[in-house]
Structure 1
Amino acid sequence: MSADLRSWTVARVRSAMTAAMRTDPYALDQLVEAGTGALDPSSASFVRAARTLTLGTSAALTAVLNVHRYKPDARDNLACAACGIGGCRTVRGISDVLAAYGLRDDPVDRPEAWRRADAWYTRTSGRTVLLDVEPFDDGFIARPAARAGVPDGVLIIDRDTGALTLWPAYDTDTLTAEYHTYKRATR
C-alpha cells in the first residue's frame, strides 16, 4: 500500500511538471498584457511566474520523493529508505496535500504525443518527418510515413508519463501486447 501511495504521489508531481512544461511562458505574458487592468499587480506577477514556480516546486518534490523510496528492509518488507518505516510520513504528507488540492494526472493526449514524436524524429534524423500517430490503451504509436533517413523502428509514447521508447516496427497488435508486458514489468 505504501509503495502504491508513493507511485500515486510521483504520478501527480510528474503531471504538474508536465503541464508546466507544455505551457508557453510567452503566452502567459501575452495573456497578462491582453488583460491589462483586469488583474491586480500581484495576480499578474503570479501568472507570469506560475510556470517557473510549478517547475521548481515539482523538481523539489521529485528530489524529496527520490530520497523517500521504498526498498526491502532486513526482513524483506518494503520500507522507506530514508525513514526506515513502512508508512513513510513524508510521502503520506505530500500525497495528502496533493489530494486536498485535487491535483490529478494529466495524461498525454494525441497532439502532445505527436509533438514529442515529431521533436524526437526531427532531432535524430535532422529533418521533419511525416508521422502517423495511433492511440492504444497505454499510449501512442508514432510511425514515420517514409522510412528513408529515419531510425529503424517506431516510437511508443507512454500515455501516463510521456516517456518515449523505440520499438521494432511490429504490427499494432504485437506492439500493444509487448508494451503492456514491458510496462507491467517496469512498475
Structure 2
Amino acid sequence: MRRAAWTHHQVRQRVHAVMTAAMRADAHAIEVALGRDERLDPYSRRFSVDARRLVLACSAALTCVMAAHRPDDDPHGREICSGCGTPDCRTLQGVSDVLAAYAVRPVAVDRAEAWRRADAHFAAGSRPVPLVVEEFPYGFVVRRALDTGDDVSPLLVVDRETGALTRWPSMPFDILAREYERYRKGS
C-alpha cells in the first residue's frame, strides 16, 4: 500500500474505532448511572452524559476531513493527497499522531457485532432470521440457520479487523477460512 493510502487507511480505522465505541455505548444507561452518583460536580456529570454525542460529532467531522484528504494520483501518476496536493498529507499525519498519542486503536469486531452486522444484512428490512456464527482467525463466517438452498452465496464473512462483509459460496469451513486469508492478502 502506498504511503498516502496507508496513512488514510490508518486514520480511517482509528476514526471508525472511535465511532464504533461511541455507537455501542448506551446513552440512557450512562445517564441513569450518573444520575445516582453524587460525587460528580454538575459540569463533569453533563460532560459524561454528552460524551457519546460529542464523540460521534467529532468522529463524523474527522470523516469529512478524510473525505477531503484522500489518496489520489497527480497528472504524472504519482500518489498525492487530494486535499493537499502533496505526497505526504500533514493533515492526516497529524490526526493519526493525535489518535495514536491517545491510544486510539482499531477495535476488533467481536462475535456479537458480527452477528448484528450479519443480521442487518440477511434481514434487509424484513424479519430477522436465525443465524449460525462461526469464528476463525480473520473474522466470522455467518449463515442462515434455515438454509433455503436458493442462494448461490449463502455464506457471509464478517472481517474481524474492518467489519467488512463479503459473500461466499457454500464450502467447508476450513477451506473458506483458508480462502478468506488468501483473499485478504490479495493473492
TM value normalised by structure 2: 0.86
Q: How does 1:68-147 map to 2 (within 5 A)?
A: 68-123=69-124, 126-147=126-147
How far is 1:48 from its partner? 1.2
Aligned match of 1:53: 54
Aligned mate of 1:16, from 10, 18, 32? 18
Q: What amino acid does structure 1 have at the position aligned with 2:135?
A: P
| Mapped contact 1:71–1:81 kept (Cα < 8 A) | yes
Instruction: Flag structure 1 segments of 5+ consecutive residues without an equivalent.
Output: none
Aligned match of 2:31: 29
Work out the CA distance in 1 between the residues paired with 2:124 and 2:36: 35
Q: What amino acid does structure 1 have at the position aligned with 2:110?
A: D
Instruction: Flag structure 2 segments of 5+ consecutive residues without an equivalent.
Output: none
CA deviations 1:5-37 (Å, max 9, x no partner) are: 2211111001101111111211111221232x1
Work out the CA distance in 2 between the residues paired with 1:150 and 1:52: 43
| Mapped contact 1:108–1:162 kept (Cα < 8 A) | yes
How far is 1:181 from its partner? 4.1
Q: How many residues align?
A: 183
Identity percentage over the alignment? 44
| Mapped contact 1:121–1:150 kept (Cα < 8 A) | no
Work out the CA distance in 2 between the residues paired with 1:153 and 1:98: 38
How far is 1:137 from its partner? 2.3
Work out the CA distance in 1 between the residues paired with 2:22 and 2:176: 30
Go from structure 1 to structure 2 and tell me whether the alpha carbon gap of 1:150 and 1:132 turns closer, same or farther (over 3 Å shift): farther
How far is 1:183 from its partner? 3.4
Work out the CA distance in 2 between the residues paired with 1:122 and 1:25: 26
CA deviations 1:47-82 (Å, max 9, x no partner) are: 111111111111110111111111222332211111
TM value normalised by structure 1: 0.86
Work out the CA distance in 2 between the residues paired with 1:60 and 1:81: 18
Aligned match of 2:6: 4
Work out the CA distance in 2 between the residues paired with 1:169 and 1:26: 41
How far is 1:173 from its partner? 3.0
Q: What amino acid does structure 1 have at the position aligned with 2:6?
A: D
